[in-house]
Structure 1
Amino acid sequence: MDFHFNNFNPDQVMTFGLMWNFLPMIAALLVHLAFSAAVFNDANRLQKERGAVVFVNSWLWSLAVLVGGVLVALAYWVIHHSNLARH
């Protein structure tokens, strides 16, 4: 049995492959945006309640999470909300 992809031209195959390569990048971008927005809202709330956020302003924390992703969001959480922050 011989399989031939006569119905697909090379441009269609390339476009299909590129689409699947971009999906993880789009998903990562959406995660970065969501975490950045959440950190921005939380940092603004902390600024109103406590008067300040550790190290930098809320918008700079948000920018750091946007660039650094989940690891920077984890660092933000450890600094502001974990048991380590309360000691």
Structure 2
Amino acid sequence: MDFNFSNFNPDQIMTFGLTWTVLPMIGVLLVHLGFGAAVFNDANRLQKEHGALVFVNSWLWALAVVVGGVFVALAYWVMHHSTLAKH
């Protein structure tokens, strides 16, 4: 089966390209927001149980995760939940 772009007008091709460019961005945004919400809830729980978090409070950790993504969430986990945090 040969896929021929000549059957489409330029606007349809542009829409197709934009769709496959925007969809991954929406997915990344949803993952960042989900991780941010999870970190916020966990940080609030830790703050109530232990009184303090490493470096900053819960809403700043959540904001950092929304901006920085999975790597900042990993840093949060290492600082608060890993065996390294227990020492």
Structure 1: segments with no counterpart, 5+ residues = none
1:19-65 deviation line (CA, Å, top 9, x unaligned): 00111111100000000000000000000000111110000000000
- TM-score, with structure 1 as normaliser: 0.92
Q: Which amino acid aligns with 1:11?
A: D
Give the superposition deviation at 1:5.
Answer: 4.1
Q: Which amino acid aligns with 2:41?
A: N
Are 2:75 and 1:61 equivalent residues in the alignment? no
Aligned residue pair count? 86
Q: Which runs of 4+ in 1 moved over 3 A?
A: 2-7
Q: 1:78 to 1:3 in 2, by over 3 A?
A: closer
Q: Which amino acid aligns with 1:30?
A: L
Matched residue, 1:25: 25
- Matched residue SS, 1:53: coil
Q: 1:3 to 1:32 in 2, by over 3 A?
A: closer
Identity %: 79
Q: 1:78 to 1:13 in 2, by over 3 A?
A: same
Give the superposition deviation at 1:7.
Answer: 3.8
- Root-mean-square deviation over aligned CA pairs: 1.5
